[in-house]
Structure 1
Amino acid sequence: MLVVERLTKRFGGFTAVNNVSFKVDRGEILGLIGPNGSGKSTIFNLLSGTLPATAGSMRFDGMEIAGLSPHRIINSGIGRTFQIPRPFHRLTLFENVALAGYFGQGRDSRAKAEEGAERALAAVGLTTDRAASVDGLGAAGLKKLELAKALATGPKLLLADESLGGLDDKEMDQAADMLRKIRDELGITIIWVEHIMGVLMRVVDRVMVLDHGEKISEGLPAEVSSDPRVIEVYLGTDAGSTQAAAARERR
Structure 2
Amino acid sequence: MALLEVAGLTKRFGGFTAVDNVSFSVAEGEILGLLGPNGSGKSTTFNCIAGMLRPSSGSVKLAGEEIAGLTADATCRRGIGRTFQIPRPFRGLSLLENAALAAHYGASGHITREEALRRAREALRLAQLPEDPETTTQGLGAAGLKKLELARALATQPKLLLADESLGGLDAGEMRQAAEMLKRIRDERGITIVWVEHIMGVLLSVVDRVVVLDHGAVIFQGTPYEAQEDAKVAEVYLGPPEARAA
TM-score by length of 1: 0.94
Name the SS of the counterpart of 1:181 in structure 2: helix
Aligned to 1:75: 77
**Deviation, structure 1 residue 111:** 2.1
Name the SS of the counterpart of 2:81 in structure 1: strand
Counterpart-to-counterpart distance in 2, 1:211 and 1:23: 18
Aligned to 1:51: 53
Q: How does 1:38-117 map to 2 (within 5 A)?
A: 38-105=40-107, 107-109=109-111, 110-117=113-120
- 1:160 aligned onto 2:163: yes
Counterpart-to-counterpart distance in 2, 1:235 and 1:164: 20
Counterpart-to-counterpart distance in 1, 2:13 and 2:47: 13
Structure 2: runs of 5+ lacking an equivalent: none
Counterpart-to-counterpart distance in 2, 1:215 and 1:67: 21
**Deviation, structure 1 residue 241:** 10
Structure 1 residues 107 and 95: CA distance shift in structure 2, 3 A: farther
CA contact (8 A) 2:78 2:108 kept: no
- 1:169 aligned onto 2:172: yes
Name the SS of the counterpart of 2:170 in structure 1: coil
Structure 1: runs of 5+ lacking an equivalent: 243-251
- 1:120 aligned onto 2:123: yes
- 1:134 aligned onto 2:141: no
> Could you tell me which amino acid in structure 1 is paired with residue 96 of structure 2?
F
**Deviation, structure 1 residue 113:** 1.4
> Could you tell me which amino acid in structure 2 is paired with residue 177 of structure 1?
E
**Deviation, structure 1 residue 146:** 0.3
Name the SS of the counterpart of 2:138 in structure 1: coil
Aligned to 2:32: 30
**Residue 223 of structure 1, aligned match among 226, 229, 236:** 226
> Could you tell me which amino acid in structure 1 is paired with residue 221 of structure 2?
E
**Deviation, structure 1 residue 195:** 2.1
Counterpart-to-counterpart distance in 2, 1:6 and 1:23: 11
**Deviation, structure 1 residue 238:** 1.8
> Which structure: larger Rg?
1
Name the SS of the counterpart of 1:120 in structure 2: helix
Structure 1 residues 130 and 55: CA distance shift in structure 2, 3 A: same
Name the SS of the counterpart of 2:193 in structure 1: strand
Aligned to 1:245: none
**Deviation, structure 1 residue 107:** 4.9
> Could you tell me which amino acid in structure 1 is paired with residue 197 of structure 2?
E
| Percent identity (aligned) | 61
**Deviation, structure 1 residue 239:** 5.8
CA RMSD of aligned residues (A): 1.4
Aligned to 1:236: 239
CA contact (8 A) 1:228 1:241 kept: no
**Deviation, structure 1 residue 179:** 0.3
Aligned to 1:206: 209
Name the SS of the counterpart of 1:56 in structure 2: strand
- How many residues of Structure 1 are paired with residues of Structure 2 in the alignment? 242
**Deviation, structure 1 residue 169:** 1.0
Counterpart-to-counterpart distance in 1, 2:170 and 2:191: 23
* Moved segments of 4+, more than 6 Å: none
> Could you tell me which amino acid in structure 1 is paired with residue 211 of structure 2?
M
**Residue 16 of structure 1, aligned match among 14, 18, 23:** 18
